[in-house]
Amino acid sequence: MGGTVLTFVGRRLLLAIPTLFGVLTVVFLLLYVAPGDPVQAMVGEQADSATVARLRRELKLDRSLPVQFGHYVRGVATGDLGRSYITNRRIVDDIAERFPKTLLLAASAMTVAILIGVSVGVACAVHPNGWFDRLALGFTYLGISFPVYWVGLLFIVLFAVTLRWLPASGYGSLKFLVLPALTLGMRSIAYLARITRSSMLEVLGADHIRTARAKGLSEGAVRWRHALRNALIPVVTVIGLDFGAYLTGSILTETIFSWPGIGRYVVQAISRRDLPAVQGAVLFLSVVFVLVNVLTDLAYQKVDPRVRHT
């Protein structure tokens, strides 16, 4: 069993290498053909030509594009993502400082989404077409339709400005985490509620559920031990995809709430034409997304033993 899992993980990681190399290549080329000069962004418009030329030599930007790309690939292969053009800090150090904050935000948002979304979905499936089911489905439509930035601003106006219960932005105690986590997790709550409801309704009508009831099992045991476990495969898929997206794409939420995570770091690096910072962060986030997908596939077998890795 253990060898099968290790073989599966190793195969998936090997298959991900061409994808990651493609991400590295595309980001490198896009940033270099985009308008703007990173050296001018560093020194300002008033710098003399000699200073600009010296910095280009030091940063190896005076060399041809293939030479620069080869130099960058060699650095990545040895774990060196370069240094920031603006701060001269190692990109690896910046990522190590910022990513735990993004991980905290993503984990909090996903926890809230699972607790609320799955519970609401199960409740709707147990009593379909009732008042709670109709009300919950209405809210899920709203949760899916509203964009993240609109939800974030609405929460700030309501809970920070009007009620003054929570801080509007920043990083610190648990209070600072509540609004960003709710904002980021709102769409997942809606998706999980709808998918859990649909999957549970299908499973509750299956033959093995009728057999479990015929054996005299309590309704709670039937719902939670038998029905929910069999209904979790599509739910696990959504959780895995959304959690990977949270880790790699919470840019809007981090920007709105001034959360010092890696998403906001990428936005700041792009605005300042900090090429190594953008390249290093995007490549790192691509690796994270691949790993999350592998872990999601492994979770399938834990949820449903009928799933086997081949």
Mean pLDDT to the nearest integer, 181-192: 91
User: What whole-number distance in Å separates Cα of residue 119 and Cα of residue 126?
Assistant: 11
- Mean pLDDT for 187-215 is 81
Residue 287 — pLDDT band, cuts 50, 70, 90?
confident
For residue 104, name the pLDDT band (cuts at 50, 70, 90).
very high
> For the ranges 168-172, 193-197, 303-307, which has the lowest average pLDDT?
303-307
Taking the C-alpha atoms of residue 61 and residue 54, their distance in angstroms, rounded to an integer, is 10
> 95-303, superfamily in CATH?
MetI-like (1.10.3720.10)
What's the token pair of residue 35? Answer: 């308008």
Q: What is the pLDDT of residue 305?
A: 57
Domain residue spans of the chain: 2-77, 95-303
Q: Per-residue pLDDT for 58 more than 90? A: no
Per-residue model confidence (pLDDT) at position 128: 84
The yes-or-no verdict on residue 116 having pLDDT over 80 is yes
Residues 6+ apart with CB under 8 A from 58: none
* Residue 251: per-residue pLDDT: 85
Query: What sections of 127-261 are H helices per DSSP?
Result: 131-145, 148-155, 174-204, 207-214, 219-221, 228-249, 251-256
Average pLDDT, the chain: 82
Alpha-carbon distance of 62 to 64, in angstroms, equals 7
Residue 224 clears pLDDT 80, i.e. is over it: no
Helix 174-204 and helix 228-249: axis angle, to 10°?
140
Question: Can you give the pLDDT at residue 41?
Answer: 66
**pLDDT(252) > 90:** no
Average pLDDT score over residue span 41-61: 72
Confidence bin at 28 (pLDDT 50/70/90): confident
Confidence of residue 238 (pLDDT cuts 50, 70, 90): confident
Is residue 307 over pLDDT 60? no
